[in-house]
Amino acid sequence: MLTKDLLRVSRRSGSYRPEFIGRESRPLAAKLIGTYQGHVGEQRGTLDEAVDAIEREEEDFKLVRGFAALLDREADFETVAPLPPERARRVAFEAAEAVGVAGESEREHAIAQAADDLAVDSENIESSLYADRDCNQELAAFDCRWDPDKLIEQYNLSLAQTALFDATEVRVKSDDPRALITAVKRLGLMYEIEQPDDGVSDDADNGDGSDNNDNDGPLVGQRTVVVTGPDRLFQRTRRYGTAFARLLRSVAATSEWELTATVDDHGTEREMTLRAGDVSVPGSIQSLNRVTTAASRATSPPGSRHWTSTGNSGANRTSSKPARA
């Protein structure tokens, strides 16, 4: 998913349609991937300036920011500093309070005192103080799963997921109903099954993850699975909205499907319809059938935040990498 401020939708004639992109956006996707690759070893602030420059060249800043948001999840940023920044700040601020900093000379004295307390050079204190700010973090690695075509696929999927976040009801038909029902149950969503004549079957969810028929998968066939969003039942929560949007990933991994959603668009009820040709999951069978480029690179596990040290003369590093959605 993307953040809601990056949502791009068309509301022509009362409809609600994500503004999907195609191969015309391939040069932009390739440029941004290359920008991230070219800034490995540099600070995040420098990378952000390069992305801002691209944004100024393009007509749609939300598209650039959307691509960048996805690529950020593939990047591994580290805090590189001789000392843990929080420790350096604590000792430096304690020294400043004792000295009574009023100007540059007092500041230098406080930094020198902090360096003495930690048995390091003043330069180590200076370079560590704010090394953990986002703009000062270093892009240590960029292990991107996507080539430009697959980045476009992922963007379209993420855009549709974001549009679904405010859905109040979703109606889905799929050529793999068993997988659809399994996904709905796993996400804890409430559902019912409609017969082709629009009648509601008895195979409805009880609200606790169970249902009245454990063999409902094969029963669905060409029937419609109706998933009820949070606004229809109780106050919306982010957890429920995220689970509702994630359902699309399971739906889009199948070969043939159609999804119609009722969306609460700032108090106005709108209808959005998506089909297999609109979005796909990069690396899925459907994706491989549609895209003839090289296979996706393997996904590495999400990173964690930790400190490592190379000794007294080396730099400490904090690694931070967001989990991949």
For the chain, what are the domain ranges?
Answer: 165-282
| Average pLDDT of the residues in 66-79 | 98
- Structure confidence at residue 299 (pLDDT): 37
Q: Is 138 helix (H, G, I), strand (E, B) or coil?
A: strand
Neighbours of 3 (CB within 10 A): 10
Cα-based distances in Å from 20 to 146, 281, 319: 18, 14, 34
Question: pTM of this prediction?
Answer: 0.78
- Structure confidence at residue 214 (pLDDT): 45
Query: Model confidence over 180-217: pLDDT tens digits?
Result: 999 999 998 889 998 776 544 444 554 444 444 444 44
Angle (nearest 5°) at CA 248 between 245 and 254: 170
Which of 29, 50, 30, 28 lies closest to 39 in space, CA to CA? 50
Query: Model confidence over 150-185: pLDDT tens digits?
Result: 999 999 999 999 999 888 889 999 988 889 999 999
Rg of the Cα atoms in the chain: 25
| Average pLDDT of the residues in 308-313 | 36
